[in-house]
Structure 1
């Protein structure tokens, strides 16, 4: 009973620190927001990785990574559905454009409205983290293991990533996850590497007992700091932590949206293929597990 009481106090203190150090905004458009609040699932979250740079904040930010995280009822698995940033979509009030343009035009609210219009899905919450946040998380964990399946040279740093599984620091892991030009499937491989990085972070966090170690969790919250902005849709943080406590890195499944690259009017886009309609229907009906089983072609190897 004493341990439980102390744990409760520790969680309360962490929640207070979280509320002070992490920005909380209404990131979701009201038409894209789930009307009810719940933690029992199924749940859908919009996750955005922005390219805001600490050294040049005045240059603005783009949605470098867009992921819909679907968590079925029971909260024992999570499907990461990567949205190609060059996906051709209709953006409310702005016509047809690449989906990451929605973030430039109207930040997360317009991006969420665009995705809801595309998929028919409303979101239970959203989060935005920038490059600095990813680097800090990985470095706090002591690096992560990433497996390179295609020899790649970074267009940003010139570093060559050789084949094989290797330990990567925050800057190196982020650099690798951002590459696409030397890869067989281009941006689709880049999306898979984003999912691989998220899984690697969760695996390392689990191995270190982060979820049950208040000191390490406190260090992580302070390290991420202003790099993270969240919208919990009114659900208290402690409820989310408790509900998600069973999720582990190996519970993540990466999915690619059925799409292909094509040049239209001199501009390179990702265009949806026919099976994408089935995925969006499955997502809106919380039947993603069944769709993935029936469509193994679109499951990413993480």
Structure 2
């Protein structure tokens, strides 16, 4: 009992200590925000990944990764729902100059000016599309994630289709291999010359997040306080968060028992379509019941009934 109590205190102290290293902003639009977040119920979070480049202005920024993370009641599982960045949606006005219109969903981040404003407009767009209100949001700088992967000693990724990077020219042969941060993120960004295009890219990004959690568990960070300090600082420095008023240490404590093997990857029921010479992804009618399953905490049942849209991680 004493050891268990000390472990609980340790988790809270670590979360409290690094709370101040995380940037805090209002990332959710008012209409996209859950009125009140209760940690003993199902939770929905918006995760936006942006590979910010030096000198990039708001008009140059697009969200490279968009995830809806659903944690069912009990907090023992998590579903990573990838939103295709070419998904055709209706983007609402942002009240700051953009008048709204039909566009690819990752353009919402650009029209909102990138950063916090872009994430707010993206959250409003997703809530209009899905009816889901969020319990929080995270804006991730992938440059920081590269550092985290390197501090963990790299991660193990399994390549199922040979591909060459259009960004660096790196070759990724078929098979499981150890990757450093730059290589893992490069691989997870590829979509050309893959049989399922952007759907494969979404799956690889989900696999990368799973591999990071697996590696963190293998590294026994709690027994190496110096390494743990470095990793937590790198994580904190790469995140901007909106916890909807929930203290960060309470949130970390509530999710402390979520194992890496409880992550499930989900893709939006959708299909590619060319409209007026432009490639889009078009949502199946009603999202194939996915959004309703998220809103009513029935995603585990939906996943079993729709294995086509579930990724093995």
User: How far did residue 62 of structure 1 move?
Assistant: 1.6
Q: CA RMSD in A?
A: 2.0
Q: Tell whether 2:241 aligns with 1:241.
A: no
Picking from 201, 212, 232, the partner of 2:212 is 201
Q: Relative to 1, partners in 2 of residues 1:286 and 1:4: Cα closer, same or farther, differing over 3 Å?
A: closer
| 8 A Cα contact 1:67 1:82, kept in partner | yes
Residue 110 of structure 1: SS of its match in structure 2? helix
- What are the ranges of 5 or more consecutive residues in structure 1 without an aligned counterpart? none
- 1:27 matched to which residue of 2? 27
- 2:64 matched to which residue of 1? 64
Q: Relative to 1, partners in 2 of residues 1:276 and 1:8: Cα closer, same or farther, differing over 3 Å?
A: closer
Q: Tell whether 2:113 aligns with 1:104.
A: no
TM-score, structure 2 normalization: 0.90
User: How far did residue 10 of structure 1 move?
Assistant: 4.8
d(CA) in 2 for partners of 1:274 and 1:97? 18
| 8 A Cα contact 2:19 2:249, kept in partner | no
| 8 A Cα contact 1:152 1:161, kept in partner | yes
Residue 67 of structure 1: SS of its match in structure 2? strand
d(CA) in 2 for partners of 1:286 and 1:22? 29
Residue 31 of structure 1: SS of its match in structure 2? helix
Q: Relative to 1, partners in 2 of residues 1:212 and 1:243: Cα closer, same or farther, differing over 3 Å?
A: farther
After superposition, the C-alpha distances for 1:102-159 in whole angstroms (9 at most, x for unaligned) are 1111211111111111111110111011121220111111111100000000001001
User: How far did residue 51 of structure 1 move?
Assistant: 1.8
| 8 A Cα contact 1:14 1:218, kept in partner | no
After superposition, the C-alpha distances for 1:60-86 in whole angstroms (9 at most, x for unaligned) are 532100000000011111011000000
| 8 A Cα contact 2:16 2:248, kept in partner | no
Superposition pairs of residues 44-123 of structure 1, within 5 angstroms = 44-53=44-53, 55-58=54-57, 60-93=60-93, 94-106=100-112, 107-123=118-134
User: How far did residue 301 of structure 1 move?
Assistant: 2.3
TM-score, structure 1 normalization: 0.93
d(CA) in 2 for partners of 1:56 and 1:192? 30
| 8 A Cα contact 2:12 2:253, kept in partner | no
d(CA) in 2 for partners of 1:200 and 1:34? 30
Aligned length: 301
| 8 A Cα contact 1:205 1:211, kept in partner | no
- 2:167 matched to which residue of 1? 156
d(CA) in 1 for partners of 2:259 and 2:8? 22
